[in-house]
Amino acid sequence: MKVIPYVREEHYEQVRGWLRLWKQDLPPSALPRNGFIIPGKAAVFLYLTDSSVAMIENLVAAPGLSREERNQAVDAIVTAAIDRARELGVEMLMGYTRLDAVVQRSMRFGFMHVADGFHVVALPLKPPSLD
């Protein structure tokens, strides 16, 4: 499996389709250019901030993959995102999830489990555009 950088113009529609399965529909501008994808398999994104903290988010896999294939793809893209964060000097990489399996996977990568449960709120500051 070859991990490649996410290119909005080439990969957005595929990632959007996967995210819609999780009831997320993000405009292209909501996905940062710092992302990684294995086309047809999985994607993940690195959200940089103006601090030493970054977020690893929108981890998504294609439907219909075998458990083994999904695990290999997700591990590969998460590794790529962690490596890129290190290259950029990120000191703390954070993420959130409601899935126990994602918590367990993250701990295999050395993440700490910080808190149980979460709620996500969002405030749209301008109407979404489809770029």
Strands laid side by side in the 42-48 sheet: 4-5, 35-38, 42-48, 53-61, 92-94
Within a domain: 131: no
pTM of the predicted protein model? 0.83
Tens of pLDDT along 34-69? 999 999 999 999 999 999 999 899 999 999 999 999
Domain region containing 22: 4-108
For tokens 């996967």, the residue is: 18
- Is the residue at 53 inside a domain? yes
Segment 95-100 shows an average pLDDT of: 76
In-domain check, residue 54:
yes
Question: Does the residue 129 lie in any domain?
Answer: no
User: In this structure, is residue 122 part of a structural domain?
Assistant: no
CATH number at residue 52: 3.40.630.30
Query: What radius of gyration do the chain's Cα atoms show?
Result: 14
Within a domain: 60: yes
Residues 35 and 48: their CA atoms lie apart, in Å, by 11
Residue owning tokens 């979460």: 118
How many independent structural domains does the chain possess? 1
